[in-house]
């Protein structure tokens, strides 16, 4: 079981970093679409239409341009992720987050795997582990989001050769 901890625990950080990158991609599409790599797709391609700003794509989930009747398949509403990239990236972010938490459960880390501690010293030790785990997650979240939002997914980064 000890080996599983050392194999699965790094996956927590990997899945979390992927989730943050997907979140940054959603923010780029929503707030900086014209300056992003998503605007580089050919205008007549499905990728260009799929990864347009949500201001332009949210109407696609409705039948006949009416915002009262959703498009359906076999009597069920079609999920918005099939109509635009913003919703697809949000779903991928959620999946990556869930994979990170599943990996937490598998590795047995105390910041997710709650248990009733018999003594106050065990509880204090658990809180120290939780606080020590939050610091790398905050660093990953801020660093990865900034990297993708300000550098990787913007056109100006590529035009400068960065």
pLDDT, residue 111, reads: 42
The per-residue pLDDT string of the chain (162 residues; one tens digit each, 9 = 90 and over) reads: 456 667 777 888 889 899 999 999 999 988 888 888 888 888 888 888 788 876 667 777 777 766 777 877 888 887 878 888 888 999 999 999 999 888 777 766 544 444 555 555 555 555 666 677 778 778 888 888 898 998 888 877 555 544
- Work out the burial of residue 17: count CB atoms within 10 Å of its CB; fewer than 13 is exposed, 13-18 middle, 19 or more buried: buried
Evaluated on CA atoms 90, 91, 93, 97, the torsion sign reads positive
Q: Can you give the pLDDT at residue 84?
A: 85
Q: First vs last Cα of the chain: how many Å apart?
A: 43
Angle in degrees, 0-180, between the axes of helices 2-31 and 120-147, rounded to the nearest 10: 40
Residue 24's pLDDT is 95
For 110, which DSSP code? T
pLDDT of 124? 54
Q: Where are the alpha helices (DSSP H) in 32-119?
A: 46-50, 54-57, 85-107
pLDDT, residue 56, reads: 66
* CA-based nearest residue to 110, from 92, 128, 87, 135: 128
d(CA 112, CA 99) in angstroms, rounded, equals 13
């Amino acid at each position: 079981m000890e080996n599983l901890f050392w194999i699965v625990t790094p996956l927590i950080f990997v899945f979390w970093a992927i989730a943050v990158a997907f979140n940054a991609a959603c923010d780029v599409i929503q707030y900086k679409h014209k300056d992003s790599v998503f605007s580089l797709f050919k205008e007549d391609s499905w990728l260009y239409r799929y990864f347009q700003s949500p201001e332009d794509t949210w109407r696609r989930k409705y039948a006949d341009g009416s915002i009262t009747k959703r498009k359906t398949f076999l009597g069920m509403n079609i999920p918005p992720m099939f109509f635009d990239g913003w919703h697809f990236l949000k779903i991928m972010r959620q999946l990556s987050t869930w994979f990170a938490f599943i990996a937490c459960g598998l590795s047995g880390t105390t910041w997710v795997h709650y248990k009733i501690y018999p003594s106050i010293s065990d509880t204090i030790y658990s809180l120290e582990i939780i606080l020590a785990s939050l610091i790398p997650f905050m660093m990953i979240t801020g660093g990865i989001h900034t990297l993708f939002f300000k550098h990787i997914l913007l056109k100006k980064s590529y035009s400068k050769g960065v």
